Amino acid sequence: MLDINYIRDHADDVRQAAKNKNLNPQVVDEVLRLDEERRHLIVKVEQLRATKNKLTRDQVDEGRRLKQELKDIEPELKQVETAYTDLMLQVPNPPAEDVPIGPDESANKVIKTWGDTPKFDFNPKPHHTLAENLGLYDAKRAVRIAGNRAYFLKGDLVLLEQAILNYALAKMVAAGFTPMTVPWLVNRDTLVGTGYFPWGEADHYQTQDGQGLIGTAEVSLTAYHTGETLSYKQLPTKICAVSPCFRREVGSYGKDTQGFFRLHQFTKVEMVVYTEADEALTRQMHDQMLEISQSLLQELKLPYHILLMCTGDIGAGQRKKYDIETWFPSQNAYRETHSDSYFNDFQSRRLNIRYQDKSGTIKHVYTLNNTVAATPRLLAAILENYQQKDGSIKIPEVLQSKMGKEIINGK
């Protein structure tokens, strides 16, 4: 959520931001209209209350008239305030100045490429074929039990997946992040507060109790201090979690239907940071978080490139976003495995997370989040890049001690 004062003073910028993010700019005009109506009604109600309080005991008729007038206006004010709040939640965060303007992924910019893509003296197979041939992946039984995009991993693939997650979590602890377990079911207010609702509501599984399954631990981690005021001494707050993630994958019909790349359920190590209300400081942290994800891929020796995402390919609440795409030999393409974003106070205003700075001033914290490792997507990248001619999989060197072996031969 943006500060209404910012919207009033930068209405044209916010309208343009909505257009650049492929959202409706008219929401800005409607917010400003309701804001003006709301302020007018608030003044009127306050004046009526003040006048009523000044009446003497013998002014009974006037008191009754004012009481009735208040009774007529107060419900109107409540209705306007409800509509105003709902629309404020639909106003997007303007992108940072260095974010490319473009309608879709075609305008994203590659800013770094790392690693040599592997050269094979055979035709590289896709990850799901490799896993099936090794007897370590079963989609047929999973689909029969749970529907499309379901999967079973077995044996060494389960152990390799856990090795990836444990390696990533240990890296976060070494970087000064506090590991946490998080709720997988959260209240609607939390999904609204983190900015996933209203825009992403269709892509979330929801229960009959009005809760939603998280699509990332970012939701629970970011909301951890909801309604609290921290001290500047607590910043930056650096937390991380391993959690299952659930997504309906609305709009992805026909995309990545084979294998375990795009799924309804997966596991992720996620990091979240609160910083002081200083965008320069936040941008430094944003880049540092990106370095952690890069170091993981470099240690796994997986080729990747980094994209600076354009306005049409970032979320409504994101101020700036990097994606890391890892090389998939069978597709002869880089595919997304990591996402690194910052929001300024967009999320913290919605969640009311504040801090007291050194001067005693109360401000909203700035928030960031980043993927450390998402599996089995990252597992799929390892299978493809480390495949051998005989169909076996060489285990990345940094994970061999955790696996107790160097090669996965299957069954």
Query: 322-332 burial, b if ≥16 CB within 10 A, otherwise e?
Result: bbbbbbbbbee
Whether 182 contacts 214, CB under 8 Å: yes
For residue 92, cis peptide bond before it (omega within 30 degrees of 0): no
DSSP for residue 279: H
- In 44-182, the DSSP E strands lie at 109-114, 137-138, 152-153, 178-180
Vertex 150 angle, CA 148 and 151, to 5°:
140
Taking 3-state DSSP, the helix, strand and coil percentages for the chain, each rounded to the nearest 5, stand at: 45, 20, 35
DSSP string, 215-259: SSTHHHHHTTTTT-EEEGGG-SEEEEEEEEEE---TT-TTSS-SS
Dig out the tokens for 193 from the structure.
Answer: 């507060």
Helix axes 60-88, 26-54, angle to 10 degrees: 160
**Rounded to whole angstroms, how far apart are CA atoms 17 and 285?**
24
Whole-number Å distance between alpha carbons of 300 and 370: 18
Task: Yes or no: say if 126 and 384 are a contact pair by the CB < 8 Å rule.
Answer: yes
Catalytic (active-site) positions: 247, 262, 336, 339, 377
Q: Do the Cβ atoms of 268 and 242 come closer than 8 Å?
A: yes
